[in-house]
Amino acid sequence: MSAMSMLAPFIGPVTIAIVLTAAALDLHRRRIPNWLTLGAWMLGLPVQVAMHGLGGGCLAWILGWITGLAVFLPLYALRGMAAGDVKLMAAVGAWLGAAIALQIALSTFLIGGLWAAALVFWFRSGGQVLRNISNILRTRPGGPSVGSLPYGVAIAAGTLAILFTKP
């Protein structure tokens, strides 16, 4: 039995354990710790190498990691998300690869956006949101925050949505 066929059934469950742990910690502490994200990055590399060989595994790992990082990095730069969220998405990419990481990121944006819109509606803070967006577009300092989301929960939901809808 090849390493790929032995390890493949564990990739999804390990990734799910990583994102659910991150979601629980983010809900409880409003922070995703480095030991989880960095540990996940590092553990993903030998798994990818065992499954795809040295060259293919390193390539799959780095492309997945870069994809997860690159998709979320602009929002971090705009102060729209925390560094732990970006590092978690990079870890998801390291485990699942670039194509699935992109699907999960898009799913996460949809879930997180709907969640944020629901909270804006619930707390009637739409006016402040529009003023903040206007200030950001004009490269001015934003106004007061209307709140924050434990985005690790959205990443976990996006990951679950993609992994459980893949054929």
Residues 124-150 have a mean pLDDT of 75
Please compute the mean of the pLDDT values over residues 19-48 and round it to a whole number. Answer: 97
Q: Is 120 exposed, middle or buried (0-12, 13-18, 19+ CB in 10 A)?
A: middle
Question: What average pLDDT does range 88-107 have in this prediction?
Answer: 97
CA-to-CA distance for 51 and 60, rounded, in angstroms? 10
The pair of three-digit structure tokens given for residue 30, joined into one six-digit string: 């409003």
Q: Which strand (E) or helix (H) includes residue 13?
A: helix 3-29
Q: What is the Cα–Cα distance from 162 to 166, expressed in whole angstroms? A: 6
Task: Determine how many CB atoms are found less than 10 A away from the CB of residue 76.
Answer: 16
- The arithmetic mean of pLDDT across residues 140-159, rounded, is 83
Are the beta carbons of 80 and 133 closer than 8 angstroms? no
- Give residue 82's pLDDT: 94
**Confidence grade of residue 127 (pLDDT, cut at 50, 70, 90):** confident
Map out the domains of the chain as residue ranges: 3-165
Alpha helix (H) ranges present in 30-150? 34-77, 83-96, 98-123, 126-137
Asked if residue 146 has pLDDT above 60, the reply is no
Average pLDDT of span 40-55:
95
pLDDT the model gives residue 137? 79
User: What per-residue confidence (pLDDT) applies to 144?
Assistant: 65
